Amino acid sequence: MAGTRAAIRYAKAVLSLAQEQKLEDTINSDMKLIASTIADSKELKLTLQNPVVRSSVKKSILLEVFKNLNPLSAKLVDTLIENKRISSIGDVATQYNELYDQLKETQVATVTTAVELSDDLRTKVLAKLKELTGKEVEINSVIDPSILGGFILRIGDIQYNASVANKLNTLKREFTLN
């Protein structure tokens, strides 16, 4: 919990600085890259959390992996190193993205499908979500072959499950109860 609070504080500070310098969009791109890279790389995450690895090594690894960071994002790396919080950079980046979405009144919808969404279907889903929420919506597409077909839509704390696997499980429960 304390780590999350610290991540929120750092994210708020970076967003405030980014707004002053009119760089919030650029920094948001940097933070998305950082968050997704750390989430996708188990080795990088473990290296950042390893207390045996020196801070200078962690910094050089991060600056090598993220060569094209904005100077403000690079300054965040320095600040986290100085304050011995570099292991939470992924959390800071994620929190920044959430704060940025709140600032821009954008909602993120997660659409889980068995196969890749076509561009046409993606456009239709975006239009429908914008109509339903009245806000700008960004789609995070997840592919999960185990749902067999259909989709699972999650926006905010609402989830709509129209997957074939869910329908089959519902039928299975009905037959086993009777």
Per-residue pLDDT of the chain (178 residues; tens, 9 = 90+): 456 899 999 999 999 999 999 999 999 999 999 999 999 999 999 999 999 999 999 999 998 999 999 999 999 999 999 999 999 999 999 999 989 988 888 888 888 888 888 888 888 888 888 888 888 888 888 888 888 888 888 887 788 888 888 888 888 888 887 6
Predicted confidence at residue 101, as pLDDT, reads 87
Contact in structure between 141 and 122 (CB atoms under 8 Å): yes
DSSP-assigned letter for residue 115 = S
Multiple choice CATH, 2-102, 3.30.70.100, 2.40.50.140, 3.40.50.300, 1.10.520.20: 1.10.520.20
CATH class of the 106-177 domain in this structure: alpha beta
Predicted confidence at residue 3, as pLDDT, reads 62
Separation of CA 42 from chain center:
16
Contact in structure between 96 and 28 (CB atoms under 8 Å): yes
Write down the domain spans for the chain.
2-102, 106-177
| Pairing of β 106-113 and β 150-155 | antiparallel
CB atoms near residue 141 (< 10 Å): 14
CB atoms near residue 29 (< 10 Å): 17
Single pTM value for the model? 0.71
> How is 21-89 classified by DSSP, letter by letter?
TT-HHHHHHHHHHHHHHHHH-HHHHHHHH-TTS-HHHHHHHHHHHTTT--HHHHHHHHHHHHTT-GGGH
